[in-house]
Structure 1
């Protein structure tokens, strides 16, 4: 852990203490039952960690995405994995645009209860028929006096079953009426009242991270106050980008934690398991794949915390462009996800047949490691982005 700041190391120590109360068996049980880890959320909220990257005058810790990345890295590495980290990560990244672009009155109304753990937020951007084509989102917000009416569908909305708030990106101007497609979307911080008319949820059964619910969300003239609009109407896409770059850093940290957890278990098993009168960890066929996986995680760790540092510095150093931040954050997410996949796969294979058994936990890690490879943006789209923005190649999509 050399090279980290005192603040990052303090975060790691404090979060490790909290997570020590939730062993692998806790996460295995919640993975099997699909029960949300309410106990971890309460413990983190009690000590003020939900607001780690939100302003101190609202009750937050006033730290940066660098420290938040360390927090989620540490949660994941404790054995909680992607599921444990995702129990709070939307509360960290989805609130960044709110903290930056909301009015002072909105911030006071919207964020302190979230920081205290009294409310929880989910992030409503992805849609089933537009996928990564964010500028073509179809969910509409139609103004009616002091209210908007929301109609449309969102998908892969994590924690929607337990959330009471949503950061929502919706279309306020039809696509055909725009000169620039990036200007037709608006951002809202809304009450997510599942008892109100016009809002329905459908749970998606999934491969891994089952302790955190994933959902389809259906809006049918769902009524929200006009004062839930964040920033100016039509500027939502530019605003939400601040949250998206933060999310890439956080998810990279979560992937790193998962990879290190898998390697730790693999190394322990390789030292304990004896075949032909010697521990299998003496064999280079076991050693070399694990050593290679470790080095790839270390390289991805450097990329991840470089990206987080750039994100934080860009808020006050205007020489750091958003293009540079985007390149760093996307690259970090890609590299960490790939390193985590390699580590998790090799951890399972190093356990042999027991890698397939739930009691050794590495099969759960492997199921979860696909999340950062797929979301919030695919590997292929990251390579498209890097090819265009870093290498100057023609846009391919």
Structure 2
């Protein structure tokens, strides 16, 4: 944390995980916020940082050792992602390729797919995007229209489009969630997942003009008769809706970790500024009107961090899926709310300087705010909690 002014070591990490935090913070801190801002402003990619993270084993810290990973768990990856963000470099591709894709492939991919892809995901030489969101489906995955039409006994043609596909321009492949062409007995179209090379014929994408100031671009992705075979199918045909949560729960946990890191970065900047900034012979941080809002944000961030680590621990222990899903969802909600509040308050603490990119906060606002909407909206989290944790009637 910046200059060591903020004491946020309330988590009871093991010695090994404390060392992991410190080493990631040191590596990413050698790049720092200004590096991240410069890369983003130039429309470039943080390839040097990504390579260093891969070479150090941090991208695959949670993946099985037999496939080039570190043999750890989601807790370890969450630490990597949190510390990367706390150093001012919130790499969204960390959530997409190692967390979502890496976890999905570990849980459901064929042996050939694991051998082909996981080592590259672990060392950073291969990146995998994830395409599930559609303009007219949103959170309701049952309502997706991207369809895999049978093309012989062991092949399909994928037709449709996806929305907000992050980083596909920098990915070697994309995991596509598609429905079957024929409905089942309930009238629903079974969901499957396919691993599609991004240079596949018929696959194209166009950028979305996004307010997010991050290196990863956002795209609408089009599938125009993209041919895939059974070798590209992830897991079991028609079981994708159940299998996809092997990636969605880690996504929510690691997104929460990223939000927590952003919040920690913002609070550290604010605490330092409020300590150094003197008005009428008094540091502004001595005034409760400045200190109390920051203290409140600190409390909320610590609670979010605890819930995030709890959700990661449940995942690593193979706990009941319902409990793991609820914990992951609640962690994402808590972290999203805490991050948005922390960044906003940090900007306010800086006064006019908070709007200057020089201070590294104003361009974080939309990234922090995003976590109230994605990867699952705060309203859908509240729907889930009301129904599954409070036992209230389903509202949608």
Query: SS in structure 2 opposite 1:211?
Result: coil
The answer on 1:115 being equivalent to 2:122 is yes
Which moves more between the two structures, 256-265 or 14-23? 14-23
Q: Structure 1 CA distance, aligned partners of 2:72 and 2:213? A: 27
Query: SS in structure 2 opposite 1:52?
Result: coil
Shift of 1:206: 1.3
Q: Structure 1 CA distance, aligned partners of 2:185 and 2:273? A: 59
Q: Normalised by the size of structure 1, how large is the TM-score?
A: 0.94
Give the CA RMSD over aligned residues.
1.5
Gaps of 5+ in 1: 315-319
Q: Structure 2 CA distance, aligned partners of 1:386 and 1:254? A: 22
Could you give the per-residue CA deviations for residues 76-99 of structure 1, whole angstroms, max 9, x where no partner exists?
A: 000113xx2x13221222221211
Asked if the contact 2:130/2:176 (under 8 Å) is kept, the reply is yes
Q: Structure 1 CA distance, aligned partners of 2:282 and 2:141? A: 55
Could you give the per-residue CA deviations for residues 324-382 of structure 1, whole angstroms, max 9, x where no partner exists?
A: 11111100000011111111111000001111111011112222101211101100000
Corresponding residue number in structure 2 for 1:317: none
Q: Structure 2 CA distance, aligned partners of 1:323 and 1:67? A: 22
The answer on 1:265 being equivalent to 2:269 is yes
Asked if the contact 2:98/2:122 (under 8 Å) is kept, the reply is no
Asked if the contact 1:337/1:373 (under 8 Å) is kept, the reply is yes
Q: What is the 5 A alignment of 1:1-397?
A: 1=9, 2-81=11-90, 84=91, 86-94=92-100, 95-145=102-152, 146-175=154-183, 177-179=184-186, 181=188, 184-193=190-199, 196-314=200-318, 320-397=319-396
Asked if the contact 1:34/1:212 (under 8 Å) is kept, the reply is no
Query: SS in structure 1 opposite 2:205?
Result: strand
Query: SS in structure 2 opposite 1:62?
Result: coil
Query: SS in structure 2 opposite 1:157?
Result: strand
Q: Structure 1 CA distance, aligned partners of 2:228 and 2:213? A: 31
Count matched residues.
385
Gaps of 5+ in 2: 1-8
Q: Structure 2 CA distance, aligned partners of 1:296 and 1:78? A: 19
Asked if the contact 1:66/1:309 (under 8 Å) is kept, the reply is yes
Asked if the contact 1:7/1:67 (under 8 Å) is kept, the reply is no
Shift of 1:180: 6.8
Could you give the per-residue CA deviations for residues 176-209 of structure 1, whole angstroms, max 9, x where no partner exists?
A: x44273x60001122121xx43111111121123
Query: SS in structure 1 opposite 2:393?
Result: coil
Asked if the contact 2:59/2:77 (under 8 Å) is kept, the reply is no
Could you give the per-residue CA deviations for residues 37-93 of structure 1, whole angstroms, max 9, x where no partner exists?
A: 111111111122221211100000111111111110000000113xx2x13221222
Q: Normalised by the size of structure 2, how large is the TM-score?
A: 0.94
Q: Structure 2 CA distance, aligned partners of 1:297 and 1:343? A: 8
Q: Structure 1 CA distance, aligned partners of 2:125 and 2:253? A: 26
Could you give the per-residue CA deviations for residues 90-129 of structure 1, whole angstroms, max 9, x where no partner exists?
A: 1222221211122223311232222232221000111111
Query: SS in structure 1 opposite 2:160?
Result: strand
Which moves more between the two structures, 284-293 or 28-37? 28-37
